[in-house]
Amino acid sequence: MADWLQLAKDKENSMIQTRRYLHQYPEISFEEHQTHDYILSQLQLLSCEIQHPVGSNGIVATFKGNGNGPTIALRADFDGLPVEELRDSPYKSKHSGISHACGHDGHTSVLLAVAEILEEYKSQLNGEVVLIFQHGEELMPGGAKEMTEAGCLEGVDRIYGNHLWSGYPTGSIYSRSGSMMASPDEFNIAIHGRGGHGAKPHETIDPVVVMAEFILSAQKIVTRTIDPVKHAVISFGMIQAGAADNVIPDSAYCRGTVRVFDTDIQSHIKYKMEKLLEGLAVANDITYELDYIKGYLPVNNDPQCYEVIKTATKALNLLYSDSDLMMTGEDFSFYQSVIPGGFFLTGCGNEEKDTMHPHHSPYFDIDEAALKYALSVFLTILEKEGVLRA
C-alpha cells in the first residue's frame, strides 16, 4: 500500500522550488501569460493529454488509466493580486505592485506535484484524473466560469479543490458539509444632489448627509429584516465626496460588499437597498445610481465529497476539524454548481515562521511545510474515490 504522505514528503523540496519561482513572477487575473507558459512547459514533460488555453489562460491536463473507475478533477488557481509585497525574502516578488498574497503559487506547485506522481503511478490508475490549472480566481466573473463554459468538466464525476489557509495551523485540514464560503457581491452607489457653500446648506441638496443616512439605514436591512439565525453582512469599504471643507459637493459615492450564503437573502438585500434609495430620493430630491454586481455563488460542499475529504485526512493521521462558516468568497463554487465538489483548507499558519498574516496582506506568506499535507490529501482523495490504486 502506497504511503501517500511519505511520497508527498519526497516531493517537498521540488514543490518549494516551484512555489518560490512562481512567487517571484506573479501576474494579475486574466494576464497570467508567463505563468501559463511555465505550467505548460512542466506538463509537456509528462504523458498526459493537455488542453490550452481553456478560457483565457487555463490549462487542463488529463491522465487516463485502465478500468472503469470514475473521472475525478482536482483544481488549483494561479493568479496573483495587485498588492505590493512588503515582506523581505529571497523569493520576493520581482513584479512591482503584484504579489502572490493569497497562496495560489502554493496551490499550483502542489497540483504540478500531483501530475508528476500520476505519471509515476499511471499503471495504477483506474479511471481518469483531470487536473485543472485555473486563471483569474481573484477577479469576477472568474476563471472557473470561463473554463467550465469551455468544457473543462465534460465527463467529470466529481471535483476537489484546496486552499492554503494562514488562519489555521500547519498540519491541519479543515472543511465542512454544505455551506462553507459566502457569495461576495459588490455594489457601487452614486448620490447626486446640488452643491453650494458650506455656510448656506439650505440652498443646497447635500448628498453627503443623504449618503450618511443611507449607510446607517442599510445596516438595518441585516439587523431588522433578516432572520437573526441567518448569515449576512453589508460592509462599506469606500466613501468619497467633495474636496474642500467649506464646499458642499454635488455628488457622493460609496462602494461596498454584501456577503451571504443564501441566494434568496442575496436578492432580498439588493431589493431593500433599491427601496431605501428610492425613499431617500423622494424625501430629499436627490437622484442616484446603484450598480449591484452579483459575485460568485457560495461554496457549498457536496456531503459525499465532504466525507471523502474527512476520511482521507484521518487516514493520513492529520488533524481534521470542521471549518467555520467564512464570509470570504471563492469561484470554486462555479464548478460545484455543475457537478458535486468538495473544497478544503490546508493550514499554513506558523507563528515561528511569521506566516499568520491574513490573505491579501502585503506581508502574507505561507509555511511551505504545508505543501506536503495538501499533496498527500489530494492523493488520498484519489485513492478513496477509487481512481488511484494504493
Catalytic-residue membership of 368: no
Could you tell me if 30 and 143 are in contact, meaning their C-beta atoms sit under 8 angstroms apart? yes
Pairing of strands 319-322, 66-77: unpaired
> Is the backbone peptide bond immediately before 207 cis, with ω within 30 degrees of 0?
no
Secondary structure (3-state) at 99: strand
State the catalytic residue, choosing from 27, 32, 77, 79.
Answer: 79
State the catalytic residue, choosing from 32, 137, 330, 331.
Answer: 137
Catalytic-residue membership of 324: no
For 109-147, letters b (16+ CB in 10 Å) and e give bbbbbbbbbbeebbeebbbbbbbbbbbbbbbbebbbbbb
Sign of the dihedral through C-alpha 262, 358, 160, 51: positive
Q: Which three cell numbers stand for residue 219?
A: 445596516
Backbone angles phi, psi at 189, to 5 degrees: -130, 135
The neighbouring-strand residues paired with 133 are 59, 76
Q: Which three cell numbers stand for residue 94?
A: 520581482
Could you tell me if 109 and 15 are in contact, meaning their C-beta atoms sit under 8 angstroms apart? yes
Active site residues: 79, 137
